[in-house]
Structure 1
Amino acid sequence: METELTLKVPPSALERVRSHPMLAERAKDDPREHHLTDTWYDTPERDLWKHGLSLRVRNDNDSWLQIARTASSLHRRGEWESALPGGQPQPELLARQVKPAELARLLADPGLAGRLEPVFLSSTRRTTWDIALPDGRQLGCALDAGDIACGDRHAQFSELELELERGDPAELFELALALHEDIPLELGGASLAARGYAMLTDEPAPAVKAERIRLGKHMTLEDAYRCIGLSCLRQIEANLPGVLRKDVESLHQMRVGLRRLRALVDMFEKLAAPPEAIREGLDWLSGELGAARDWDVLAGGTLDHVKGIDPAALRTAAQDKANALHKQLLHTLHAPRYTVLMLQLNGWLRGRQWRADGALPGKSPLAGRATRGLLPLLCKAEKRLARRIKALDPQDAPARHKVRIAAKKARYAAEFFHDLLPGKRTRRYTSRLSDLQDRLGTLNDFAVADRLLDGLAAGHGQVPRQASWVRGYLAAVGESGGQELAKPLKRLVKLRITRQR
């Protein structure tokens, strides 16, 4: 699979990219111009897209090409192509190249070609460069500007696509960072195929939950770290379109991906510490996302616990606060700092940039088997949780929150390495930690609500009166909930997955 990066380019900056001196200096030849017309095909039941595959026929200067692509990842996609004598797709020709057996069988189906129909098309002006890399390889660079059409609906696009077939992926992200210093670029997100299919259904993409992480028993700890980190990063990136639509659940899942990534970075702190710029960027993004999420939870969750009054006016005021922060968040996610952070993270993980001299020391735990190296990491998480539980005063809200964070990190650690741990025991362990998180999470929501409502309780009127009443109610319920934590916490002090292997 190739490594690919797509970056949005402001239409006003297209000529600046075409004439950028760095591309001119590093290109092997002069840029080439193409006019591409692509027609995407699928069955009436959308069988290809349901299998995560897109198929298009391209006309490029009167030559015909069919291209099949997977849609499994933002930066890693399978792509296969074959020449055609004319404009009709012949999917069986691609079936010989496709490695996933299920997709190969789908394309080889004798009846597929007869059921294919055009579903949408695009027209593109493309400028391409072959960028020379220091080791003699080359990186493909294409600037696309055009229009995608689905019936009478149209959408303009302008984006820069960088492709590396093999070699160090960090080269790709370093080039993007260098261009971003001069031109305001943003991560591209959804492919043209995904945008076309979204136009067909007029349905926004759903929020994306954490995927199951697949680890092999012979995998090194370094490979496991990279695999887990990229999974967390994919969850963050995949939820960006939803967050930009101000979707509450997409914001929640983007925060989950970010929390998982920060937990992983903390877990591997002594083995693969990221640069300070990445660490500061993660903290910054966490704060930006958290502000809007806190008001979402208050308006859409915490107030549902309140009995005795109907806090409708307060709910409206809280929702107004949430809406304002969602709007502010759009500026954050369009800001250059967000693009820089995502490019840095991709370069760090994909390019294994924790290697000081391009290789790991022989005695580094990262070079050993993950099945051995995971034990000290899990032990660290378990001991931290036990230590915080033993020192906890259940009525101390900040201390409860620290226990919740420790429980979350312990659960994430077990989930990260699930494939390398005893399945039944791991599920029981993570289930108990999840139950504790839920209890502590509700109490933390009450504590956060108290802080937020403090700003709404001043003055006169319905909202301040309801805010004061709700603060008192949640304080009483929270105190009772804290007293009920003693037994579940006591059971968890001795809970160890590392003792059960």
Structure 2
Amino acid sequence: MLPTTRLHLSVSPETAARLPRLGLVTRNREGKTRRTRFRGTRYDTARLLLRKQGFGMELLTVGNGRVVQRTFTSRGVKVTDASPGMPDVGALAEEADDPQLRRRIARWRLVPVFHYVDFAEVVIGLAIGDSRVRMQIRRGILSPAQSGRRKVPVAEVVLALESGSPLALFDIAIAINEYQGARITTREIPEAGYRLQRPVLDRDITKGARPELSVDMSVLDAFRAVMSETLDHLLSNQELLLASNPDAVHQTRVALRRIRAALRAFKAVLPYDKRKAFNGELRWFQQRLGAARDWQVFREDTIPKVSVVRQLPERGLERLRSVALGERRRATREAIDVVGSRRYARLQMHMLRWLNALETDTASGGSGTSLLPFACRALERARQDMLLDERPLSRMTPDELHTLRKRGKKARYATEFFAPLWAESDHRLLLTQLRLIQEKLGETNDAVVARQLLLTLHPGRLASPVDRIIQDWSRETIRQCLGAAQPHWRRFQRCPAFWKLAEPLPAPRSLPSAA
């Protein structure tokens, strides 16, 4: 993701139609504008094996009646003349690097997946200062090949940097967002077509991964690697959340927390004003998504647990499920409005612009700083924050437990960020104890939130026996969870600081370049 040379924006079809008249476009247009109309079909196997391999094949009819075949592989896009009918799968097989895969592809039987209906593409060259950007605007209608599924109007803007600074991409994106609204997306139009045909694909959430760090990196290089991974985590779940996937709400909140944890872990080398401004916005969005997640946990986790250990009246249980479902749907709609807002898109664009500016900002304070001693200091600081209060968990108030839980998340994320610098055997014990503490404190928090959610409901929506049963279950669950977490809390306090004792992994040796 960093440095950015290509940016995909999702816009409305109406915005796409107006973009060529945007002031920034008309003032900076360079060369001839190319306009094309096309229609066609995307092909794959019945099990979408081409998509799984990262390949694609389309037959398109362009405006003058010419039929072309487009093949998509890791090498890029290849366009050749073709005849109407079925695409030539053999041409795609020839593009595969692996001989065994080449033979398999040649035997695959392709079927239509979705159709491009009345698509228009406009390609405009832009000169933004010393930078040259190619803007592609596409809009049309996607129609699933399976009959009975709805057609959907779609539009996207692709900004490709041809020369100059990547900041030009974000200046254009920010202008489009302020003009009519736009959002950065990792889902291109073909992927949207696949998900129209197979709605089950919208269940595939993305979890965060560990960034790839090595001891020979500078602190700023490590920060960019961490932020690139956490932003990928955020953007990968964005479209799923907008499609009402409740699990994507949780992953989005996790991604927002991880970004905030990264800003905190690297705060010594970051500009104070930028870091605080971004952190404030990230916190605001994280809080706005909280209700959707809380009601999801209440409905899918808390109610089943309560019904197992407590005897709930049948009518009261059904009423509880119905109320929780309605509240979860309402909160999810609010979360969709938040993530689909211009404010959310503005935050992403400005943050990515800032990160790309750090590529050349040698005055930021971390470009020449060695990563290993910095990581050791950050890990020690996170550990000391976690140990500010070492009392037994049973003696802490709910607010103190919540504070400990937040500190634990920061310590866990910081440890996961820097863990690749050491062998897994060195940091496994500490991370395991942090994870187990977080699990039990998370269950404690869910029990506390269950009581708080009931207080937000209008009186009379639930029968008093149900309310009382959940209150009793909550108190008992909190007591049990704190008892289960206490041994892990003590083990964590005694865990050795691996960054002080273990040797870091050596830097990977670079392969000699081919002559």
- Identify the TM-score tier after normalising by the shorter chain: 0.7 to 0.9
TM-score (norm 2): 0.84
User: Given that residues 13 and 153 in structure 2 are in contact (C-alpha distance below 8 angstroms), is that contact kept between their aligned partners in structure 1?
Assistant: no
Choose the corresponding residue for 1:317, options 323, 332, 335. Answer: 323
- Residue aligning to 1:73: none
Tell me the CA shift for residue 166 of structure 1.
5.9
Match of 1:68 in 2: 72
CA change 1:234–1:463 in 2 (3 A) is farther
The alpha-carbon deviation at position 44 of structure 1 amounts to 4.8
Q: 1:346 to 1:461 in 2, by over 3 A?
A: closer
Equivalent-residue separation in structure 2 for 1:443 and 1:173 (angstroms): 42
1:154-173 correspondence to structure 2 within 5 Å: 154-165=151-162, 167-173=164-170
Tell me if the contact between 2:393 and 2:482 (Cα under 8 Å) persists in the aligned partners.
no
* CA shift for structure 1 position 381: 1.0
Would you say the 8 A contact 1:54–1:193 is kept in 2? no
Distance verdict in 2 for CA 1:354–1:279, change over 3 Å = farther
**CA contact 2:57–2:92 (8 Å) conserved in 1:** no
Distance 1:489 1:200, change over 3 A: same
Is structure 2 residue 185 aligned with structure 1 residue 183? no
Q: Does 1:259 align with 2:257?
A: yes
For 1:297 and 1:111, how far apart are their aligned partners in 2? Answer: 44
- Secondary structure in 2 matching 1:160: strand
Structure 2 residue identity aligned to 1:138: R
Contact kept in structure 2, 1:39 and 1:56, CA below 8 Å: yes
Corresponding residue of 2:427: 426
Partners of 2:237 and 2:251 within 8 A in 1: yes
* Structure 1 match to 2:510: none
Alpha-carbon distance in 2 for matches of 1:254, 1:285: 10
Report if aligned partners of 2:184, 2:345 keep a CA contact under 8 Å in 1.
yes
Q: Secondary structure at the match of 1:488?
A: helix
Does the 8 Å CA contact 2:56/2:73 hold for their aligned counterparts? yes
What are the Cα deviations for residues 309-353 of structure 1, in whole angstroms up to 9, with x where unaligned?
32613343233222211122222122211111121222233x1x3
Match of 2:266 among 265, 268, 276: 268
Q: Which residue of 2 aligns with 1:449?
A: 450
Task: Report what 2:144 is aligned to.
Answer: 150
Q: What SS does structure 1 have at the residue aligned with 2:200?
A: coil
Q: Which residue in 1 is equivalent to 2:278? A: 278
Q: Which of 345, 359, 362 in structure 2 is aligned with 1:360?
A: 362
Alignment of 1:402-417 (within 5 A): 402-417=403-418
Over 3 Å counting, the alpha-carbon distance change for 1:407 and 1:111 in structure 2 is closer
Within the candidate set 133, 141, 154, 2:135 is matched to 141
Which amino acid letter does the alignment assign opposite residue 400 of structure 1?
A: L
Distance 1:105 1:416 in 2: 34
Q: Which amino acid aligns with 1:127?
A: V
* CA 418–65 in structure 1, closer or farther in 2 if over 3 Å, else same: farther
CA distance in 1, matches of 2:483, 2:92: 68
* Offset at residue 398 of structure 1 (A): 1.1
Tell me by how many angstroms 1:13 deviates: 3.1
Asked whether the 8 Å contact 2:44–2:110 carries over to 1, the reply is yes
Q: 1:223 to 1:471 in 2, by over 3 A?
A: same
Q: Distance in 2 between matches of 1:369 and 1:268?
A: 13
Measure how far apart 1:226 and its partner are: 1.2
**Structure-1 separation of matches of 2:199 and 2:470:** 40
Range that drifts further, 374-383 or 86-95: 86-95
- Which residue of the partner structure matches residue 76 of structure 1? none
Call closer, same or farther: CA 1:12–1:365 in 2, change over 3 Å.
Answer: closer
- Partner residue, 2:511: none
Normalised by the length of structure 1, the TM-score is 0.86
Tell me the C-alpha RMSD between the 2 structures: 3.0
Q: Of 337, 345, 363, which aligns to 2:343?
A: 337
- Who is 1:86 aligned against? 82
Q: Is contact 1:395–1:482 with CA below 8 Å preserved after alignment?
A: no
Q: Secondary structure at the match of 2:425?
A: helix
Aligned mates of 1:292, 1:446 — CA distance in 2: 16
Moved more, 267-276 or 479-488: 479-488
What aligned pairs does 1:37-56 form with structure 2 within 5 A after superposition?
Answer: 37-56=39-58
- CA deviation digits over 1:157-210, x for unaligned, max 9? 122221225653332122110122121223444222212222333423212111
2:25 corresponds to: 23
154, 160, 171: which one pairs with 1:174?
A: 171
Distance 1:459 1:332, change over 3 A: closer
Q: Specify the alignment match of 2:11 in structure 1.
A: 9
Q: CA deviation at 1:391?
A: 8.9
Distance 1:305 1:389 in 2: 31
- Counterpart of 1:80 in structure 2: which amino acid? G
Task: Structure 2: state its 5+ residue gaps.
Answer: 503-515
Structure 1 residues 85 and 288: CA distance shift in structure 2, 3 A? same
